[in-house]
Amino acid sequence: MTDNKVESVRNIALVGPAGAGKTSLAESLMAKTGAIKAAGAIDRGTTVCDFDPKERELMHSLETAICHFEHKGIRVHLVDTPGYPDFIGRSISVLPAVETAALVLSAQAGIETGIRRLMEAAKASRLCRMIVINKIDMEPEKLDQLLSQIQDVFGNRCLPLNLPAEGGSTVFDCFFAPEGGETDFSSIAAAHEQIIDQVVEVDEELMEAYLESPDDVKPEQLHDAFEKALREGHLMPVCFVSAETGAGLDALLNVIIKLLPNPSEGNPPPFLRGEGENAEPVQVTADPDAHVIAHVFKVVVDPYVGRMGVFRIHQGTVTSNTQLYIGDARKPFKVSHLYRLQGKETDEIPSAGPGDICAVTKVEEIQYDSVLHDSHDEDNYHLRPAAMSPPMMGLAIEPARRGDEQKISDALNRLSAEDPCLKVEHRATTNETVVLGMGDLHLRMVLEKMKERYNAEVVTHPPSIPYKETIN
């Protein structure tokens, strides 16, 4: 069992377009490390992260999901995100919970729309970024072209840490093992030299040593410089993998464990104190003995369980007896039960420290983007808000049955608490309730949830335009 040491934690968000294989990759990593007995399948509806009935019906992720596994003494939290453009806001909303954003691309589909925005959002959150090319067994002859396209889009800082071989049936490490077999394209030696050149550029002493004697600079000496290159966006490593066949999983796990940052190595979270123009940056450190500071990045409202707040601890230690304040609230709540999530399953844990992703239930005051803390010294702390796109589409709704107004209002309040991209307005000029979302699929899912989860049926129509007469 992994301890609560900061050095033993990794947090990664799997982002990318629909169909790239993010959920399958999470499943394969959990199965490979023994977190689950066997990898589930999307077409059978047996994956850990796609547990909602609608997700299983559509065979695509519609919500963010949290899972974890342990490997070589390191606990890795994965945040699986939906890939449909209508749900990109949900992907962006979870980025404050991690140090690394891994863009998962399909070797078949290649570069798709929306990926630039995801990577820009990760950059704005000052996250380390990497790219995982999945399904390398499907189109092995196109992988060199895809890598070139990635470099065209994101720059020459996108360099492979491993290369596919034997028609995508395996991969060879190019960073730790500069000597290896023949690859499907390029060569291990060339890839090794490129990535070493890129890493040493951020450290003058290493650069001098490398120029004087390249063979004397070993990969093990480059850890700190590698982390710095990731933090500064000077390097965006690329890994090749097949979640279906397992090719490249060991290499990817090696990268996660040895090269990706732990909570103390990533860029510090952009916490602010105060509001508006008077807000000032404050330093939050991954110190388990300091005041607790945690950020709620996801809320789930279940008709039977109640409200669950999922949060990332940035500072301090939370136990089952901790008293936490929500924002500037004067009265704290007691953490009676502290949970770690594995899809829809909850495992109760005695304590959690910096870097951990946890959940509490039945705290009705908890909201998305809340800051939890154990001292009034942090009453006015908040994270710099993520850049969310405004709603793109609206529908006016009214009850399908007379007398359901309160039921519909309650359903909308609960759904908007879960979804940071869902907005509800009452427009007095037209006397209409308008539901605003990111697109047709987003609003359709909202209406279906209202009906299936809360038995609240509505009739929809386009919002009325409040024409005003002009008198000349």
Which residue did the predictor score with more confidence, 177 or 319? 319
pLDDT tens figures, 340-376: 999 999 999 999 999 999 999 999 999 999 999 999 9
For residue 308, pLDDT beyond 80: yes
Supply the pLDDT for residue 5: 87
Supply the pLDDT for residue 472: 61
DSSP element (H, E) containing 141:
none
Average pLDDT in the 267-291 region? 91
Q: How sure is the predictor about 2, in pLDDT bands with cuts at 50, 70 and 90?
A: low
For 47-81, give one letter per residue: b (16+ CB within 10 A) or e: bbbbbbeebbebbbbbbbbbbbbebeebbbbbbbb
Supply the pLDDT for residue 215: 79
Q: How sure is the predictor about 3, in pLDDT bands with cuts at 50, 70 and 90?
A: low
Average pLDDT in the 63-76 region? 96
DSSP element (H, E) containing 223:
helix 223-231
Q: How sure is the predictor about 470, in pLDDT bands with cuts at 50, 70 and 90?
A: low
Report, in angstroms and rounded to the nearest whole number, the Rg of the chain calculated over CA atoms: 24
Cα separation, 240 vs 21, in Å, equals: 13
Average pLDDT in the 224-230 region? 94
pLDDT tens figures, 98-154: 999 999 999 988 888 889 999 999 999 999 999 999 999 987 788 999 999 999 999
For residue 432, pLDDT beyond 70: yes
Cα separation, 322 vs 89, in Å, equals: 32
Cα separation, 104 vs 102, in Å, equals: 6
For residue 1, pLDDT beyond 60: no
**Contact between residue 226 and residue 199 where contact means Cβ atoms under 8 Å apart:** yes
Average pLDDT in the 260-289 region? 92
Supply the pLDDT for residue 413: 93
**Contact between residue 291 and residue 87 where contact means Cβ atoms under 8 Å apart:** no
Cα separation, 71 vs 34, in Å, equals: 9
Supply the pLDDT for residue 221: 87
